[in-house]
Structure 1
Amino acid sequence: MTEAILFAITIVLPNLALMGLGFFMQRQGQASQAFIDQASSFVFNYCLPCLLFFSVVDSEVDYAKQVLLIAVGVLITFILFFGAELYAKRYIEQPADQGVFVQGVFRSNMAIIGLATVANAYGERGLSIGAVYMGVVTILFNILAVITLSRVSKSVSDTWISRIILIVKKLATNPLMVALLAAFAYKASSLPPITGVIHTTGDLLAAVALPLALICAGASIDLKSMLSLSGISMQASIGRIVIAPLIAIAVGLSFGLTGIHMGVLFLMVGAPTAAASYVMAKAMGGNDILAANILAFTTVVGMFGMAIGAGVLRGFGLM
Structure 2
Amino acid sequence: MFSITLTIAPVFLLLMVGFGLRKSGFIGPEVWAGLDKVVYWVLFPALLFTKTSIAPLGGDIFWPYLTSLEAGIFLSGVFIWLMIPLFKKKYTKESMGSIYQGAIRYNTYIGFAILVAIEGPEAQFLGALATAVMVPFVNVLCVSTLTTLHGDPDTHLFKRIMKELYRNPLLRAIAAGVAWNLTGLGPIPVITDTLESMSSATLAMGLLSVGAGLQLRALRTASLPIILSCIGKFFILPAVTAIGLYLWGITGLPAFTAFLFACLPTAASGYALAKQLGGDVPLIAGLITIHTLVSMALMPFVILLAQYLYM
Q: Same fold (TM over 0.5)?
A: yes
2:220 maps to 1:228: yes
Residue 96 of structure 1, CA deviation: 1.6
Partner of residue 95, structure 1: 93
In 2, the alpha carbon distance for the partners of 1:22 and 1:155 equals 36
Segment of structure 1 superposing worse, 117-126 or 300-309? 117-126
Partner of residue 15, structure 1: 11
- Pick closer, same or farther for the CA change 1:233–1:153 going to 2, 3 Å: closer
- Pick closer, same or farther for the CA change 1:46–1:155 going to 2, 3 Å: closer
Residue 83 of structure 1, CA deviation: 1.5
Residue 254 of structure 1, CA deviation: 4.0
Residue 280 of structure 1, CA deviation: 1.1
Which of 21, 30, 37 is matched with 1:41 structurally? 37
2:65–2:133 CA contact under 8 A, matched in 1: no
Segment of structure 1 superposing worse, 16-25 or 49-58? 49-58
In 2, the alpha carbon distance for the partners of 1:236 and 1:74 equals 19
Partner of residue 86, structure 1: 82
2:86 maps to 1:73: no
TM-score, normalization: structure 1? 0.89
2:284 maps to 1:286: no
> What pairs up with 1:157-306 in 2 under 5 angstroms?
157-158=154-155, 162-195=156-189, 197-225=190-218, 227-239=219-231, 240-306=233-299
In 2, the alpha carbon distance for the partners of 1:129 and 1:262 equals 10
Residue 27 of structure 1, CA deviation: 2.1
Residue 51 of structure 1, CA deviation: 0.7
1:16–1:303 CA contact under 8 A, matched in 2: yes
Count of matched residue pairs: 307
Residue 92 of structure 1, CA deviation: 4.0
Identity of aligned residues (%): 24
Residue 252 of structure 1, CA deviation: 3.0
In 2, the alpha carbon distance for the partners of 1:32 and 1:264 equals 36
1:278–1:291 CA contact under 8 A, matched in 2: yes
Residue 23 of structure 1, CA deviation: 1.2
Partner of residue 126, structure 1: 123
Gapped regions of structure 2 (runs ≥ 5): none
2:260–2:306 CA contact under 8 A, matched in 1: no
1:43–1:212 CA contact under 8 A, matched in 2: yes
TM-score, normalization: structure 2? 0.91
Segment of structure 1 superposing worse, 186-195 or 133-142? 186-195
Residue 182 of structure 1, CA deviation: 1.2
Residue 259 of structure 1, CA deviation: 1.6
Gapped regions of structure 1 (runs ≥ 5): none
2:64–2:244 CA contact under 8 A, matched in 1: no
Which amino acid letter does the alignment assign opposite residue 272 of structure 1? P
- Pick closer, same or farther for the CA change 1:112–1:132 going to 2, 3 Å: same
Which amino acid letter does the alignment assign opposite residue 35 of structure 1? V
Residue 130 of structure 1, CA deviation: 1.5
Segment of structure 1 superposing worse, 167-176 or 268-277? 167-176
Partner SS, residue 272 of structure 1: coil
Residue 154 of structure 1, CA deviation: 6.2
Which of 43, 47, 53 is matched with 2:49 structurally? 53
2:145 maps to 1:143: no
In 2, the alpha carbon distance for the partners of 1:255 and 1:92 equals 38
Post-superposition CA distance 1:7-54 (Å, at most 9, x none): 3541x3121011111112112212322111100100111111111111
Post-superposition CA distance 1:141-176 (Å, at most 9, x none): 111101221234364413xxx221121122222221
